[in-house]
Structure 1
């Protein structure tokens, strides 16, 4: 499992846009990692130091998030107060150009049904600030969908994004699973 020094090296390689080198080093420190799909879909990994290739939770004014790892039933917990929003959770991807299967399992949430305040499933262009070509936003109502990763998109950021809500209770919930993998690839249950 990567320690803080390994994570720092991985993130520096990513900042230098040495994506393949960063992935090679990450995969060496995380045996079983597969660049063709999202990692740790069930939030089982209890890592202290997280690289951009790991799930990272974002907290800001009005946004409270936590990854609660567990060997069998990990989850991502979030609360967004009224009038706030932004990225809640993200993971850097190097998915191949393909049609991808995506699945999210949500529990204990309010306001997650379409057109609720959670971002939409779609691979769409964003500005290249930070060096990422595409951001994949998720609308995580229970169920699965497909998304298309284009050939000119070697690096992507998978992000759960909350739009600002006018609901006085805000938005809160727990996500038990987020998985993206090629449509014709078998599902892996490990991290």
Structure 2
């Protein structure tokens, strides 16, 4: 997956996770790695299967007493976003952020996951043309990333790029004499 060979990645993930689930079934246990298979299925545009995996993975994780949302939930919300299901995407991302804030406090320094969820919410707000909220989430994500993983991390750079897009959007609107319609 990291080399962007999604076809090979999907095949290997399916095989690997099929083995894990077979072993879990034989042992009578559950495995939350349905998230990983869900990511593979997003790449293959198998959105209905992704949804089933996500719901089952969430059920398994929430059954554990130490449930904390993770960045995988923000990643898996890309499928409803790609399908234009903005409300479903929004609910998943807002719930994830709420769960992180409940578990770790608002703007924690412990987990890069919070920053990833903040950034995902910022990107969603941009798609929704809610520019002020988008910039606020990206700004929070940038500060979070700098605190949690440092200024030179790729996650910090990605969020800095999003903030630069906001600034370009603002400058183009001002240069063209447009109303502040962010």
TM-score, L = length of structure 2: 0.28
Instruction: Identify the structure with the greater helix proportion.
Output: 2
Q: Of the two structures, which has the highest relative contact order with CA contacts closer than 8 Å and spacing of 6 or more? A: 1
TM-score, L = length of structure 1: 0.27
Structure with greater Cα Rg = 2
Instruction: Identify the structure with the greater strand proportion.
Output: 1
